[in-house]
Amino acid sequence: MLKATEQNDKFKRAIILSIALHSVLIAILIWISIHQPQESSAGSGGSSVDAVMIAPSAVVQQYNRQQKTYAQRAQHQAEEHRQKQAAEQQRLAAQEAAEVQQREQAKQQKLAEEEEEATSAQAKTAAEAKKQAEVEAKKTAVAKAKAKADQIAKNKATSQAKKQSSDVDVLLGGLTNAKNMPKAGSAPTGVDKAKQSGASGAEIDAYKAQISRAISNKFYDASSYSSRTCDLRIGLAPDGLLISVTAVGGDPALCQAAVSAAKLAIIPRPPSPQVYEVFKNATLGFSPQ
């Protein structure tokens, strides 16, 4: 824009200078045309000489035509220059608008990409958080289920233990009294009981072996008590449930371990009422097998 303005100023100055020079030239021509005949007349001694006169009006008309031509040319050039300037301004404006539009598009694209990246990052974070929450929830559920199962098993074991203890207490309350439990010295022998009950010796020996194995199964280290014996007085229910057990003689260490093992043992049911009559209150010589 500044360069175009400077060129326009130079062009105007050139036109003004040209007009001034032409004006001076025309003035000189007019002055010459007026004064030249007089000087020629004075120098020739009064003789008439034909001279070509230039009419001032013709000079003026010629000048006007030239000025009009110059003015039209200058106007045409100025119009061309103005059009060029306008076209250049339009081009620059269009270029600037295009650049602004490109910058705006680039800005919008960058914002869209950043927004997309942020959305993707948020979605990824949310997915990871959800996955972690699911893992934690699964762990918690498994832990709760295990704890519940353990508690159920514990409660069941406690309930069974209480029931067994209650059953033993009831049986003990009805059976372990002085009238039902004979004195140590008055207990009948196995032979006497066999005779009284009608059970055979083989049946008695077989069931005695079953009781010994049941008690031995609850020993943690039966080999450490080898060659030792303990006399156990036991009281059984008809279904084989141990009602009472006491040590009445033998190795003290073995007797203590045997009493504890007998309380944990699962003694089988007597094979017949006759065998039960022998062992419902009997003394056994026990040695861990």
Two structure tokens written together for 221 = 């280290």
Task: Tell me whether residue 234 is exposed, middle or buried, using C-beta atoms within 10 angstroms of its C-beta: 0 to 12, 13 to 18, 19 or more.
Answer: buried
pLDDT at 156: 61
| Domain parsing of the chain, residue ranges | 2-36+55-113, 184-286
The span from the CA of 279 to the CA of 247, in Å, is 16
Q: Highest mean pLDDT: which of 166-175, 180-189, 217-226? A: 217-226
Q: Which residues share a beta bridge with 250?
A: 230
Residue 197, pLDDT score: 54
DSSP state of 187: P
Find where tokens 């036991």 sit.
234
The class that CATH gives domain 184-286 is alpha beta
Query: Which range among 36-45, 56-65, 87-96, 137-146 shows the weakest confidence by mean pLDDT?
Result: 36-45
Q: Return the pLDDT at 29.
A: 81
Q: Band of the pLDDT at 142, cuts 50, 70, 90?
A: confident
- Which pLDDT value is given to residue 39? 47
Q: What is the pLDDT of residues 97-107, one digit of tens each?
A: 899 999 989 89
Chain mean pLDDT for the chain: 77
Record the pTM: 0.35
Q: What is the mean pLDDT of residues 210-239?
A: 90
Task: Report d(CA 250, CA 284) in Å as an integer.
Answer: 11
Contacts of 239 (CB under 8 A, 6+ apart): 269
How many Å apart are CA 26 and CA 61, to the nearest integer? 11
Q: Which of 54-58, 158-162, 207-211 has the highest mean pLDDT?
A: 207-211
Crossing angle of the two packed helices 201-216 and 252-264, in degrees rounded to 10: 90
- Would the pLDDT of 155 be above 90? no
Span 121-138, pLDDT tens digits: 888 888 888 888 888 887
Please name which of 219, 223, 209 lies closest in space to residue 259, comparing C-alpha atoms. Answer: 219
The answer, yes or no, to whether residue 165 has pLDDT greater than 50, is no
